[in-house]
Amino acid sequence: MMQRLLVVLCLFDVQEVAGWNSFILNDQGRRVLTRRGRGISKATTIEEDISIEKANKIFEWHRQWYPMAVTEFLDEKRPLPMQLMGKSLVAWKSEQQGWKIFDDACPHRLAPLSEGRVENDGTLLCAYHAWRFNADGTCVSMPQAKDLENFATCSVPSYPVREIDGLLWVFGDNSDEGRMMAALSEPKKRDEIDDPNAKRLHWNIRDLPYGYDFFLENVMDPAHVTVSHHNIVGNRYIK
């Protein structure tokens, strides 16, 4: 599936999982760590324990901020399909609340909302049965229904969104806990972006016919750079 990938210099705080398995008190009352599958033990102080526990923190891919698009290239008058780690999303702009990102599926028959319309009243309309959703994802209009009593059960899942430095960011987890984490965190961007003396170039976007996993494998392989990008970045014949 064709996915649009935005290449941005961002820093993610990815930390290696150390693999320590259990804590045991020794004769001196100090905790001993046992490593999984290796039978290695090590006496540690409380301060060392705290450091180790931080190092053991697993990087949660869906609980991060990701840059999805350059806002100046987006069409504010229509919904736009996007992909994030296998999720189909739709971005659209509410006149009252700015850019929003929903699941790209109407809760009625799962029709793509990206094939719908942004209406003059500031709602997102599904092109299948004309259900309308406000900026919070709540269904506010259902032509086939007589009243609005049960519309709250027909909401579209939305995601935390930020617009920073010309980029539209989305937090990958829209659960209650994920929203709390998003509210307490900021997108991890390079400090140079905020430097007023930094030279700013034009945005460059390419459509790549593969997923994020294949792309990450590519950019994390430095050995290919001088070969594949000969005379652009280095020279394949110079060792």
- Predicted confidence (pLDDT) per residue in 153-174, tens digit: 789 999 999 998 889 999 999 9
The highest-confidence range among 30-39, 49-58, 116-125, by mean pLDDT, is 116-125
Give mean pLDDT, residues 204-210. 79
Round the average pLDDT of the chain to a whole number and report it.
Answer: 78
Residue 28 scores a pLDDT above 80: no
Q: Strand pairing partners for 170?
A: 66, 161
State residue 96's pLDDT score: 85
What number is the average pLDDT over the span 147-157?
A: 78
Q: Check residue 150 and give its pLDDT.
A: 67
191-201 pLDDT, tens digit per residue, is: 777 777 877 77
- Region 41-70: what's the mean pLDDT? 71
In a 3-state reduction of DSSP, which class is residue 21?
Answer: strand
Q: Which residue in 152, 158, 171, 148 sits closest to 124, CA to CA? A: 158
Statement: residue 24 has pLDDT above 60 = no
Q: Alpha carbon of 228 to those of 213, 216, 219, 231: distances in Å?
A: 19, 16, 12, 9
Name which residue leads in pLDDT, 56 or 219: 219
- pLDDT above 90: residue 53: no
Q: What is the mean predicted confidence (pLDDT) over 172-192?
A: 89
Q: Provide the token pair at 112.
A: 């793509």
Q: Taking the complete model, does pTM exceed 0.75, yes or no?
A: no
Residue 54: the pLDDT is: 57
Greatest alpha-carbon pair distance for the chain in Å reads 74
